[in-house]
A and B are shown apart, each in its own frame.
Chain A
Amino acid sequence: MTSLAWGVHDAWVVTLRHLRHIPRVPQLLFFSAIQPVLFLLLFSYVFSGSIHVPGIDYKVFMVPGTFIQTMAFAAAATSVGLADDLQKGFIDRFRSLPMARSAVLVGRIVSDATRNLLVILIMATAAHLIGFRFVTGVLPALAGLGLLMLFSFAFSCIGAAIGLAVRKPEAAQMAATFWMFPMIFASSAFVPLATLPGWMRVWAEYSPVTATVDALRALFFGYGDPTRPVLIGLAWYVALAAICLPLAVRSYRRAAM
């Protein structure tokens, strides 16, 4: 087999390790879903009275925003998980094996993205209660979910780079989350872009969060045109992965120093 094929093999074996944890520790999935679901319900009832978006019920408008928020915060799980593996000596063991240097990272990121997808499906079910529907058909809905997975993958890459750089689970948790709120609120996740102050809009226009949320709104319930946000989003995912994954692999190689 070629080294690329072995790399995929190794990453798959690691992915399976993490996927096994999901049924083994179901509380984890439950609790990682319950907070976003509560958030979804609270937000929609609290703000739908005061925020008005032209042409759509605010409750439905903000649903993709909560999806993205959940995915972004889940990146902290990648951070903490890797820092934890590092601290417990697990990474040392992996590094003493003849396996691909990227496999531990890719395996974790892929499995985290998969778990996040399960959380999103749970959230989508809850969102049904407040009127959210996939109204554009199967293909656009699947495309939207695929985009969400890519977003999750890209943010997990950031999380991985942070986790392996700071090395301590507690510090990883902090370092991977403190910039999340500004990141998420300076976007179209919960309000229309036009209502943001001008200086913030300069960034928000091009933010990966705005791009993904706008694309999801278009793909899930036909609010706006998907082309531009999908393209900006894809550019972000590729760029983030291309920067963060090599950084993370570099820290991984040096993990014992």
Chain B
Amino acid sequence: MNAVETTGLVKRYGAATALRELDLAVPQGSVLGLLGPNGAGKTTTVRILTTLLEPDAGTARVAGYDVVREADRVRRVIGLSGQYAAVDENLTGRENLVLFGRLHRMRAKAARARAGELLERIGLAEAADRVVKTYSGGMRRRLDLAASLVIKPRVLFLDEPTTGLDPRGRREIWDLVRDLVADGATLLLTTQYLEEADALADDILILDRGQVIAHGTPDVLKAKVGGERIELTAPDRAELARAAEVLASVADGPVEVRTESGTVTAPVTGGVHAVAKAAGELAAAGVVANDLALRRPTLDEVFLTLTGLVPAADEPPR
């Protein structure tokens, strides 16, 4: 069964159309990553699914309930952590969680117990009784996430949960989200980072200007844009040619030599292990290189590729 399902969702803001006939489905217990640049319609989608906004056309069901006609039922089974942390700065972390628990109509005692449990889980037990004003951005974000979990939601919506966090903060959120998913929650996550969708999602939907431009598992999508690759820079043509020869043995696709920029790129799998192997073989062959790095396709590249503005790495230039 699908925990989230939309058909032909349309949302207009005045003359601008934010969503054009969006169809999506998230099977129970899975994670969908909604990926897209600014203005793609990610937040609009989340708002419709969480009953905050009514679509102009189309239907959406969450946990089997229609988001417009059965909005109240939907609200009882979802958790939402919006794009900006919405916690009360003048309350403590604990008070915030108890507040939301109470508004979910839990009994005071149950709400307090749940708050304690969540604070422990998100690593804020120490800071639980400090006002949120004194929290770092990462702590706030974690608290906001916890606030969406007070009822153990059947479907969880996270709108750009790591935007604005440093790498460590991002890791912390990822670990937390992985935990949740392991518990069997269905999750719809929006993000601007392919890496994030890759780390967390079973399925990715790429959205651009309110339309789905690609859909698939992370591997399928990355394969479309050429996946990860090694990039090597060498001082001259002779070294470039030798490097290309060596790299061909680690590559799992055609190696490309760009003499004008003095680089060789080789598609690989296995990440840093591939780099280690390449480094070893380059050294053994005595190749002189200025730089050797692992490159992953960035969201920009995925977009540019999918919208046909730039050829994929493994296609000949047009």
Chain A residues packing against B (C-beta within 8 Å): 6, 9-10, 13-14, 17, 20-21, 24-25, 88-90, 92-99, 103, 255-257
Which residue of A9, A93, A257 is within 8 Å of B86 (Cβ)? A93
Q: Residue of B at shortest CB range from A100? A: B103
Q: Complex: how many Å from CA A98 to CA B82?
A: 17
Q: Residue of B at shortest CB range from A104? A: B103
Which residue of B51, B83, B99, B131 is within 8 Å of A24 (Cβ)? B131
- 0/1 per residue, B82-119, Cβ < 8 Å to A? 11111010110001000110111100000000000000
Q: Complex: how many Å from CA A152 to CA B86?
A: 28
Q: Complex: how many Å from CA A99 to CA B75?
A: 9
Q: Residue of A at shortest CB range from B79? A: A96
B243 to chain A, nearest CB (A): 51
- Whether B82 pairs with A20 at a CB distance below 8 angstroms is no
Q: Complex: how many Å from CA A71 to CA B99?
A: 28
Q: Residue of B at shortest CB range from A25? A: B90
- Whether B84 pairs with A99 at a CB distance below 8 angstroms is no
- 0/1 per residue, B206-235, Cβ < 8 Å to A? 000000000000000000000000000000
Instruction: Supply 9 A–B pairs (Cβ within 8 Å), ascending by A.
Output: A17-B91, A88-B86, A89-B82, A89-B83, A93-B82, A97-B75, A98-B104, A99-B103, A99-B104
- Whether A6 pairs with B105 at a CB distance below 8 angstroms is yes
Which residue of B53, B90, B91, B131 is within 8 Å of A256 (Cβ)? B53
- Whether A89 pairs with B86 at a CB distance below 8 angstroms is yes
Which residue of A20, A88, A90, A257 is within 8 Å of B95 (Cβ)? A20
A251 to chain B, nearest CB (A): 14
Q: Complex: how many Å from CA A10 to CA B72?
A: 15
Given A24-B131, A97-B103, answer yes or no on A17-B72 (Cβ-Cβ < 8 Å).
Answer: no
Q: Residue of A at shortest CB range from B13? A: A257
Given A9-B105, A88-B86, A89-B86, answer yes or no on A98-B80 (Cβ-Cβ < 8 Å).
Answer: no
Q: Complex: how many Å from CA A112 to CA B103?
A: 20
- Whether A96 pairs with B52 at a CB distance below 8 angstroms is yes
- Whether A21 pairs with B90 at a CB distance below 8 angstroms is yes
Q: Complex: how many Å from CA A9 to CA B107?
A: 11
- Whether B103 pairs with A96 at a CB distance below 8 angstroms is no
Q: Using Cβ atoms and an 8 Å threshold, which residues of chain A touch B54?
A: 257
Q: Complex: how many Å from CA A24 to CA B88?
A: 12
- Whether A256 pairs with B52 at a CB distance below 8 angstroms is yes
- Whether A94 pairs with B90 at a CB distance below 8 angstroms is no
Q: Using Cβ atoms and an 8 Å threshold, which residues of chain B touch A98?
A: 72, 75-76, 104-105
- Whether A96 pairs with B78 at a CB distance below 8 angstroms is yes
Q: Using Cβ atoms and an 8 Å threshold, which residues of chain B touch A97?
A: 75, 100, 103-104
A108 to chain B, nearest CB (A): 12
Q: Residue of B at shortest CB range from A101? A: B72
Q: Using Cβ atoms and an 8 Å threshold, which residues of chain A touch B99?
A: 13, 17
**Of listed A21, A88, A92, A96, residue having the most chain B CB within 10 A:** A96
- Whether A96 pairs with B95 at a CB distance below 8 angstroms is no
Given A95-B51, A96-B50, answer yes or no on A90-B104 (Cβ-Cβ < 8 Å).
Answer: no
**Of listed B76, B103, B105, residue having the most chain A CB within 10 A:** B103
B186 to chain A, nearest CB (A): 16
Q: Complex: how many Å from CA A97 to CA B72?
A: 8
Asked whether any CB of chain A lies closer than 8 Å to the CB of B152, the reply is no
Given A13-B103, A17-B99, A24-B131, answer yes or no on A96-B51 (Cβ-Cβ < 8 Å).
Answer: yes
